Structure 1
């Protein structure tokens, strides 16, 4: 079974997605997600200009060999553009293999290890009343675990707070959410401000209030978005210990893996890291020194099923679990892939889940379901996701960027 075509599809049904569609000479079709938020066209070019021609004529069943061919053969390894491109190819080939077998993809990965994948949603508010309303709304929707993000006194806009000033706003300044995420459809990134001391003072008071309102049983998560130094991260983790977080995410930039030692020394709050990591090499020190508790890499950015399964198997040796990145800049193709993998691996932890827009679901037509707090992949052959070209034609690409961040004195800071 040979690969006959590899099409790069760029669409924007509420936000931008890059999808790879591989078709074999006997008519089987596979999809892969290659979306890289704010740098989508870089991946589209890599696939279209450097990868697609290399795939034509290759045996679609040789997934491992194709992965090694694209990773080792390029010489220039790793990085988000390269690994998102390889992930799209890998996922599309797994989709095809499962369709040829006539089985849902998870059956090729060993079958179900659980009834479903526990999912957490994103609750947020500029103040406590708004946050409480958001938590109640998510609980009413069936979520059984909640990520909590709030506004910070003195700051107009804060990551993860849907109602922040200019959250997703266009030139008019009127809030217009971009499929529930903070990317803006603008020529240049919007600039936001940050105050670490204010954040460190405010965060514990928020979680105290949430625990008092919603009790001790509800799993709560929080994302610091790489904004803290190691000692600041340690201080935050320590201050949040009384509120029993499920995890504290991205407390410090983890390119310097040794920084997590300092955090680990001072707090027992579980740590989740890795949504910006691309390969297994990013995790070696973190795993072997047991500096984290959850792996955040998405299938889309970490080289596909082949590569992420290796990462999870490596993590399992150290009793570290999965916590796959899954906001709406991961397309339904990427989310479906994460669910097939998550329902099969022994060390699943939790799955991030933000519901896509109606237009996105119309374009991709996913068959996964969300019920009782659990996500379950479809039981049809393959991934269980399609791609509607007519719908895509009605939603052409529109440039959009994530914000950038500055401290109050004007210095650039991690966003």
Structure 2
């Protein structure tokens, strides 16, 4: 068996996706997700111009050798574009291998370690009243773990809130706004730090102690501000506090950890095990947030999570709508097999997206389970995808009250 064809597919059914399709000489088709939100065409070009020519004629079963070829053989290592491209290839090859074996992919990763993958949804509102309504709606959908976000009084639209103040514009399925330039939002950390504890108090009063609550700070706090936030939220028993500070400076998490026992989740913008080295060795975090799509695929993320497991750190794979159903399915197969699985982020894709990819994973009793059919359990409909051409889109930019660009 040899790789006959490598195709890079770009479509925008509700948002932009980059999909890699690898076809073998006997007609087996594997899919991989190479989507990098707001920089999709960089990965598409990397794949089509630099990676695809290396794959044609190779043995699709040689997954480890192919991974090392693309990582070690290119000289330029790491980074989101490179690792997303490697991820797309890696997942497509695992999809092929599992189909040839006649097994769902998780069986090739060691088999199921649990019945389903606990998932959390996103509840939000421009104010607390709207947030409470959103939490009720998510509980009715079956979620037992819910991320809660609200607008901050006086700031207007805030990233992570599904409806914006003033006009009620919705962007549940895609926060990246289509257009020539990014939208700009105002940010004030002091106002945010004053506001969040009262939000958590209101949610706990409404829903009691059993509901698993999560919150995302979106990298916007300094280490001492992050420490203050974590300490102020201890009484509300969060499942985790996410991305409290930009973690490229891994040592900064020492300060946060010293001041709070609130569990910390970090890493949705990290791509390799090297990004986690200090965080894991010093047990400065509790959950690894990297998704399969941006961390070198199943092979790359498994390396990270195997190391994390030695320090009692669990998975918390990123699962927004800029991870396609292909990437989500790969995360679920890996998550079902992992011993140190923690929780899976789950944002529902749009109807247009599902029409293109036809994902067969299921959600029930607060958890997700991958398809039992051979491979990933996702397909790609070229005819439907052709109706949704690529459209430039950017995630919003945050500026402080004085106009200074702030951490995203």
- Is 1:81 the equivalent of 2:81? yes
| Aligned residue in 1 for 2:362 | 369
Shift of 1:174: 7.4
Q: Hey, what's the Cα distance between the residues in 1 that align with 2:388 and 2:179?
A: 17
Shift of 1:165: 3.7
Equivalent pair of 1:22/1:29 in contact (CA under 8 Å): yes
Q: Hey, what's the Cα distance between the residues in 1 that align with 2:314 and 2:168?
A: 40
Shift of 1:159: 1.4
| Aligned residue in 2 for 1:170 | none
Shift of 1:175: 2.0
Within 5 Å, give how 1:2-41 maps onto structure 2.
Answer: 2-41=2-41
Unaligned runs of 5+ in 2: none
Within 5 Å, give how 1:145-224 maps onto structure 2.
Answer: 145-165=145-165, 175-177=169-171, 180-224=173-217
Equivalent pair of 1:247/1:269 in contact (CA under 8 Å): yes
- TM (norm. structure 2) is 0.99
Q: Hey, what's the Cα distance between the residues in 2 that align with 1:181 and 1:229?
A: 27
Shift of 1:345: 0.4
Equivalent pair of 2:14/2:174 in contact (CA under 8 Å): no
- Is 1:346 the equivalent of 2:345? no
| Aligned residue in 1 for 2:140 | 140
Equivalent pairs counted in the alignment come to 408
With over 3 angstroms needed to count, the CA separation of the structure-2 counterparts of 1:176 and 1:206, relative to structure 1, is closer
Deviation string, structure 1 residues 21-72 (Cα, Å, up to 9, x no partner): 0000111100000000000000000000111011001110000000000001
Q: Hey, what's the Cα distance between the residues in 2 that align with 1:381 and 1:24?
A: 16
Equivalent pair of 1:31/1:95 in contact (CA under 8 Å): yes
Within 5 Å, give how 1:13-412 maps onto structure 2.
Answer: 13-165=13-165, 175-177=169-171, 180-412=173-405
Unaligned runs of 5+ in 1: 167-172
Equivalent pair of 2:218/2:242 in contact (CA under 8 Å): yes
With over 3 angstroms needed to count, the CA separation of the structure-2 counterparts of 1:265 and 1:88, relative to structure 1, is same
Equivalent pair of 1:162/1:181 in contact (CA under 8 Å): no
Runs of 4+ residues over 3 Å off in structure 1: none
Q: Hey, what's the Cα distance between the residues in 2 that align with 1:248 and 1:302?
A: 21
Deviation string, structure 1 residues 100-124 (Cα, Å, up to 9, x no partner): 0000000000000000000000000
- TM (norm. structure 1) is 0.97
SS at match of 1:343: helix
Equivalent pair of 2:14/2:173 in contact (CA under 8 Å): no
The CA RMSD measured in Å over matched residues stands at 0.9
